[in-house]
Structure 1
């Protein structure tokens, strides 16, 4: 064959191959368009809340399912991980995280109470930076430090081991004292948690604990010493046993939560004292209208009950807690009590409160700001009760009525506004001699985390 004829034959073969490839690509493009149109029709015909954005119709083809799953996975990754996790092939990983919460507010008290900290005030409530990750063999770690108020405080410093549903933790971490206490401050429905959680001294402590999560159950128990700040001051004067059990079944689109907790603590120091007190629903003031003062004690025993329901845009939650203090000798043992009940509603379509692992979790707006949406807007109402008055201990009684408005612009940014009316009886801080009076508080917060 002549060289020219060979070249023409080669060109013809190449053109034929290119034509075949173009035909295949056009067929694939048509098939993709057909599948996308079918998926849009199926989503449009489905009920609004029966087909979430990351769901795949049951009758979708394998290729459609793969495409939607890949897109959903990418969306979840970008939404849940604004900072990338560094992952090595040998099992080590590292991820930085942090939060910033800036608060401002005011306290309006009756005449006759001349205390610094009333009126307007502001603060950097939390500035936390941390790191967490995995280690080979099922181990993990988490370290978090709070820099708020120019006072460095250790939040979490914990080593973990996971084996299926079992997690063992050692270090400085939360004890197991209720739904609101264990829910992150990033996800609470009010600027401050319920009054009893702070009054009864719920805090992180150094200890060893285990968590077991078979199905809808969460079982937690541990033995603890004191908070790391007390240990640093050579004030290691107590040990405690804490436990919690949660049953959290999901019924169709309804998330239920039922739980209880137990706390037993003994003081090692025979001259130990304890003190319960509480701010008026705002942290920017140091004034405590409820305060038992310091009194002698040998230990404390606490019992808590908790319940919640999330049904679409609506949620309701309630907790009660009893704290009995053992006193030395013939002194009477006082019983203190606190609790709250709250309800909330999202005003924006498609939004609901997050829940995971026996606690409230992140709200993820269905239509966040920056993606053509308004974000998630939520209103909440709460009744908050605390009684620190018993057996000769005059700490006062609070009936609190609170309301909040939360605007979650994105998964990781939100603005909050709270109003509270605190009605006090037998208050140890009298107003012109009167121990029964009301206090109004207002607080706002700007928050971002990563």
Structure 2
């Protein structure tokens, strides 16, 4: 797809999502959607490290315009374009159909890789997801998925090719298979348990030169203190477990994922690990973390700003581990301890303040003295609006 493709899609989305078109005609329903996320932060590394992306950085993390609705024949659609990076990128483009408990989805969509990845970035506790989600290459891809949903369980499976940009290369003919299951019963008043697991396998077909790496919490910086060397990769396998508990104003959640790239030429293949544990509580009475159908959902304040209250105020703490060492391949390790303060004045608006201390071992960037074991401090602030 050429870059003009997403541009035309954006124009079409703007027209379709306009108030004049947001109506029910011939069984069609159309509603606009979008988001703006602006991030500013500071990355404080040892003074002897000189690299772009340190100290104060900022960016529009997302500027998206889209539409969703239903076409004739009970076909649901979703399309969303992002133009935060001075370019048009097609994010979501799906058609779906639900019959009873079964939903079929075709198009550019998220893989079935776990609770944190499948939770919208609008609803996470920190400005970025756990480190392993990007390090292991979890992303949207073109494919077909089917889900069976019950009152307290969900089973999903899918087959995928690659993301839109990668599909512009005729030599890119890899594919992946994904599956996920989750059980989420209510176990008491305002109490929900979530247990699940996911597996992802990808055949790259032609060995690709890939690196597995991650930024220090803040996406606005391009620096990576943890990164493998370029690896000739033929296949990828990841599998993980997930758990969460929401009980009134309190929530706790965690995941563990193992990732194994198969290297070309018979080289020993490393197994990498990523995982996190998190807990949080609302300081405002009556508020709880949103949850729906196997993922965290939007927070809806019990007393929104302008309606007799101040909105929802939440504090969270997280430990996040990423280990990219294995089989003689040194990519480094990182251990993050962080806290976040989240203010949700109304369910469509959010302000987030994050602090994280990240300790690295075998870091990709040495200090002036050659030391690769050191710590980095990160502060991040996000302003967010969605509709």
TM-score by length of 1: 0.80
Is the contact between residue 217 and residue 246 of structure 1 (CA under 8 Å) also seen in structure 2? yes
Partner of 1:243: 179
**In 2: Cα distance, 1:234 partner to 1:377 partner:** 49
Q: Is the 8 A contact 1:84 1:95 kept in 2?
A: no
State yes or no: 1:93 paired with 2:29: yes
The SS at the match of 2:176 is strand
How far residue 89 of structure 1 moved from its aligned partner, in angstroms, is: 5.7
Aligned to 1:35: none
> Whose RCO is larger (CA < 8 A, sep 6+)?
2
Matches within 5 A, 1:370-409: 370-409=306-345
- C-alpha separation between the residues in 2 aligned to 1:226 and 1:372? 48
Q: 2:16 aligns to what? A: none
Rounded Cα–Cα distance in structure 1 between residues aligned with 2:37 and 2:170: 31
**What's the CA shift for 1:342?**
0.3
Partner of 1:437: 374
> Which residue is 2:94 aligned to?
158
Find the counterpart in structure 2 of residue 262 from structure 1: 199
**How do residues 347-386 of structure 1 correspond to structure 2 at under 5 angstroms?**
347-386=283-322
> Are 1:425 and 2:369 counterparts?
no
Q: Distance in 2 between matches of 1:84 and 1:342?
A: 44
Q: Partners in 2 of 1:250 and 1:419 — Cα distance?
A: 33
Deviation at 1:85, TM superposition (A): 9.4
Aligned to 2:236: 300
Q: Distance in 2 between matches of 1:235 and 1:260?
A: 32
Counterpart Cα distance in 1 of 2:173 and 2:208:
8
Q: After alignment, is 416-425 or 211-220 more displaced?
A: 211-220
Residue 79 of structure 2 is aligned to residue 143 of structure 1: yes
| Greater fraction of residues in strand | 2
CA contact (8 A) 2:200 2:238 kept: yes
Task: Tell me the CA shift for residue 330 of structure 1.
Answer: 2.6
2:42–2:57: 8 Å Cα contact kept in structure 1?
yes
Aligned in 2, Cα 1:84/1:357: closer, same or farther, shift over 3 Å? farther
Contact 1:98/1:127, CA 8 A, preserved across alignment: yes
1:232 is displaced (CA, Å) by: 2.1
**C-alpha displacement at 1:392, in angstroms?**
1.8
Gaps of 5+ in 2: 1-18
CA distance in 1, matches of 2:147, 2:20: 27
The aligned length equals 367
Q: Which runs of 5+ in 1 are unaligned?
A: 1-82
Structure 1 runs of 4+ aligned residues shifted over 3 Å read 83-87
Q: CA–CA distance in 1 between the matches of 2:340 and 2:20?
A: 33
Cα deviation code 1:260-315 (max 9, x no counterpart): 0000111111x422210000011110000001021111101100100000000000
Q: RMSD of the TM alignment (CA)?
A: 1.3
Correspondence for 1:76: none
Aligned to 1:36: none
Where 2:85 maps in the other structure, the secondary structure is: helix
